[in-house]
Structure 1
Amino acid sequence: MPRDTLTREQIVRTAVELLDAEGLEGLNMRALGKRLNSAATAVYWHVKNKDDLLTLAGDQVWDEVRLPDLDAVDWRTAATAMAGDLYGMFTRHPWLVQAFATHLFHGVGKARHDDHTLAVYEKAGFGGPQADRAAASVFTYVLGNAAPAAATASLTRRIEREGGDAEAVLGAVMKQATEAASQFPRLRDRIGSVSGPDYAEAPDDTFDFGLQALLDGLAARIPGAPTGL
């Protein structure tokens, strides 16, 4: 694709596709140019460098998080919906979770999300720094829950890139983890209650359980909330 027919939007959209398929390790201008059917040098007419491209790609996916109408739903319904969408976005794009360790993401997409999140907690009754803390607490919870899936995706790609059998390697690791866990009574009991080396897998409703517990705690801290809520 000639340079003058490329657009930044095309480049960023294709970068997201490349990151989804190959992870952070697979993002480079040559691979991107190949997907765009263009010379890698043509990409530099639209983005400064790889870090700039990653920032743009990271900002774009924030648009996948829907913003509930705060005139139509209560704050807790809105907070639950946004946290669920954010978790879904992170698990669809695990490279973004990894990149948080090395990059500071910014842009209109993330700002749009952050602004609406603050509006949710302001509607709850938090003001100023309290709304910031409430929003940050929920964000950190969601990010932490998405981290294991991101780590597994990255490890799987690395093993396969090196020519290994990811399923076999991960199975062997889980077997070793199960053997170590069997030395401790509570973990040993749990191993006996599940099939195979899956003792470390959390119940399906764990994310929602933790989120609602966190929102319970925030609700109790709303100024003027009844004591013991």
Structure 2
Amino acid sequence: MPADEKPIASVWTRPRRPQRELLTREQIVAAAIELLDLEGIEALSMRKLGTRLNAAATSLYRHVTNKDELIELVVDDVYGELEVPAVADRAEWRAAVTRSAADLRAMTLRHPWIAPELGQVGLVHFGPNAMRMSSGLLAQFEAAGFTADEKDRAVGTLMAYVIGIATSEAAYLSQIARSGKTEQEWVAALRPAFDEASQEHSQLRGGSSARQDVHPQQIRDDDFAYGLDRVLDGLAARLHA
């Protein structure tokens, strides 16, 4: 790194300040996640979080220097919900990766606000939980037989698919939640308008009609599994190339 170039600022790259009061970083992070789950990323502010904790915003700044650092902390805490994949043998790598991908999607849908944070291009997650998860995935692809160069790209491809799908789903489910309807009610309410708009598009009508009696969540699960299988088919083909 050039002498005049500053390192990337991150809560994970500076020393943790000594504890001097009852309020802890862990309490701050837990309260922030509760607020985010209830009201979304737009509602998060140091002042609002301080009110939730019955503490002055200045007390929070003893633990995090700004909102960006707080986001780093909450993202990594949520990553801690994921089970780090145990290294599988070469014959089982695909099943292990599939479980990890499904866990990541489920975690994102539990916390819809996290989807944009995971999907930011160029954002590196230095937190210990995120690092353990990434290392675990790399170990799976290494066990599968991918070269050192390709295993990084394989993990990147997998994450891009999962985060991309989960981001779209999270936005869709958040819109439904704001409507006050269940997913089934929301889809049923849209059906007449879709049928009318697609009268001259038989391909659209045919595909939609074939699945109109299937629960919308099952359709989302099936679509995710289909896309994941195709991604893994392509990656597996590289092992035989």
For the aligned pair, the TM-score class normalised by the smaller chain equals 0.7 to 0.9
Counterpart position of 1:209: 226
Pick from 27, 30, 51 the counterpart of residue 68 of structure 2: 51
One-letter code aligned to 1:117: L
Alignment of 1:18-167 (within 5 A): 18-70=35-87, 74-102=92-120, 104-106=123-125, 107-155=127-175, 160=178, 165-167=179-181
Q: Deviations over 1:21-65 (max 9, x none)?
A: 111111111221122121222111111111110111111111111
Q: Which runs of 5+ in 2 are unaligned?
A: 1-19
Q: How has the CA–CA distance of structure 1 residues 181 and 41 changed in structure 2, closer, same or farther, with 3 Å as cutoff?
A: farther
CA contact (8 A) 1:182 1:191 kept: no
Offset of residue 83 of structure 1: 0.8
Aligned-pair Cα RMSD in Å: 3.0
CA contact (8 A) 1:47 1:53 kept: yes
Q: Which runs of 5+ in 1 are unaligned?
A: none
| Structure 2 residue 37 is the aligned partner of structure 1 residue 17 | no
CA contact (8 A) 2:119 2:163 kept: no
Offset of residue 69 of structure 1: 2.1
Aligned counterparts of 2:175 and 2:199: Cα–Cα separation in 1: 25
One-letter code aligned to 1:59: D
Q: How has the CA–CA distance of structure 1 residues 71 and 215 changed in structure 2, closer, same or farther, with 3 Å as cutoff?
A: closer
CA contact (8 A) 2:88 2:140 kept: no
Q: How has the CA–CA distance of structure 1 residues 134 and 42 changed in structure 2, closer, same or farther, with 3 Å as cutoff?
A: same
Pick from 180, 183, 200 the counterpart of residue 200 of structure 2: 183
Aligned counterparts of 1:44 and 1:174: Cα–Cα separation in 2: 50
CA contact (8 A) 1:63 1:109 kept: yes
One-letter code aligned to 1:26: A
Aligned counterparts of 1:195 and 1:18: Cα–Cα separation in 2: 36
Offset of residue 153 of structure 1: 4.3
One-letter code aligned to 2:130: K
- Using structure 1 for the length normalisation, give the TM-score: 0.80
Aligned counterparts of 2:193 and 2:81: Cα–Cα separation in 1: 38
Offset of residue 117 of structure 1: 0.9
SS at match of 1:64: coil
**Larger CA deviation: 131-140 vs 35-44:** 35-44
Q: How has the CA–CA distance of structure 1 residues 180 and 98 changed in structure 2, closer, same or farther, with 3 Å as cutoff?
A: farther
CA contact (8 A) 2:79 2:130 kept: yes
SS at match of 2:113: helix
Aligned counterparts of 1:34 and 1:156: Cα–Cα separation in 2: 29
Q: Deviations over 1:159-215 (max 9, x none)?
A: x5xxxx5549x667675555433331111223444549x99x835422222212221
Q: How many residues align?
A: 215
Offset of residue 154 of structure 1: 4.3
**Larger CA deviation: 187-196 vs 116-125:** 187-196
Aligned counterparts of 1:136 and 1:150: Cα–Cα separation in 2: 20
Q: How has the CA–CA distance of structure 1 residues 143 and 179 changed in structure 2, closer, same or farther, with 3 Å as cutoff?
A: farther
